[in-house]
Each structure stands twice: as C-alpha cells, then as structure tokens.
Amino acid sequence: MRQGRFGRVRVIMELLGLLIVVNTCSAKAIAGDLKAQSFNVLVLDAVSGKPQRKIQVDFFCSDSKRNYLPPEEGDTDDRGILIVPYTCQGDKARINIDAAGKRKEQCGSSEVSATIEEISSKGIISAPDAAGEMHCTTKISSKLKPVPGQITIFVKKPSLWQSIF
C-alpha cells in the first residue's frame, strides 16, 4: 500500500499524539504522588466582587506535629492573592485559613479548613452566608466556580449592627 506525503505525516502525527497522551498520563500519575508546595488564597469583597489588597491572611496546620505553633501570616497583593506555602505534615493534616483587614472582616465562619488534596484537586470557595461571625450576601459567590489550587474567601465592611455584636 502506497502512502502519499500527507499520509506519512498523518501517521507520524498520530504516533506523536499517542506519545503525548502516554506522557501526559504518566505526568498526572507522578503529580498525584507529589504534595503541592503552595496554593493561592484569593480574597474578594462579598458585595462588589473586587479583589482585596492588603488583607491579612493567617494560616496554620491542624495536625499533631504542628498544632502548637503560632499561625503564620501574610498580606494579599494588588490582585487580592496570597501564595501560601504548604508545610503541613501527616496524612490527615488540614490547613486553616482566616482573613481580616483593618476595616473588613471575613464572611461566614471564622476559618476555612481543608486538606491539600481538596485544595489541589477541586479548589474551595468559602460560603459567605455560612453560620459564623458575619453573614454576607451570596450574589458574587454564587457566580464563581472553584479553581483547583485556590481557596476563595469573602470579606466585607461590617454594618453598624454587625460591628456592635
């Protein structure tokens, strides 16, 4: 059977495609065995949806090896993002995230707690209307989809009534 010039190119491309698929699968298998070194925390205003800069984010591990250490902290950049290094150890380790600014507070529960597997595989969006210190609107959060490798937290300025209690 004689193949033309384009037939040979197609066979080569199919072989290369097969190699790329094999390499992609092996890369996913290797990546699944490795622990993520860091992840993003995105802080958004619950009312406007705008990224919040200079919001202090506290984070700490809740496993038996590190739960005695004080929380670490960092501030979000102009895009509302803080890159958090993952330093937790142990199989059941969870990282806890808490965000607060000078004039803004975190919506919903006071902390977001997750495993690195949850963060890496599907991402987390905190519920701004969850039971906790401050109830916020879900107008913005309901439009978002989780991003793998990212935790999204909502903050807002407390109303007069909320600031009293």
Helix, strand and coil content of the chain, in percent to the nearest 5, comes to 25, 30, 45
> In sequence order, which residues have a C-beta less than 8 Å from that of residue 133 and are 6 or more positions away?
105, 106, 108, 109, 110
Instruction: Indicate whether 82 and 155 sit together in one domain.
Output: yes
Tens of pLDDT along the chain (165 residues) come to 455 554 555 555 454 454 344 343 333 433 444 444 799 999 999 999 999 999 999 998 887 555 555 789 999 999 999 999 988 877 778 889 999 877 888 888 878 999 999 999 999 999 988 877 788 888 888 999 999 999 999 999 876 665 555
Instruction: Indicate whether 25 and 52 sit together in one domain.
Output: no
How many structural domains comprise the chain? 2
> In sequence order, which residues have a C-beta less than 8 Å from that of residue 90 and are 6 or more positions away?
63, 64, 65
Instruction: Indicate whether 12 and 80 sit together in one domain.
Output: no
Q: pTM for this structure?
A: 0.72
User: Closest by alpha carbon to 125, among 116, 140, 135?
Assistant: 140
Tokens of 20: 């790329």
The residue range of the domain holding 26 is 1-34
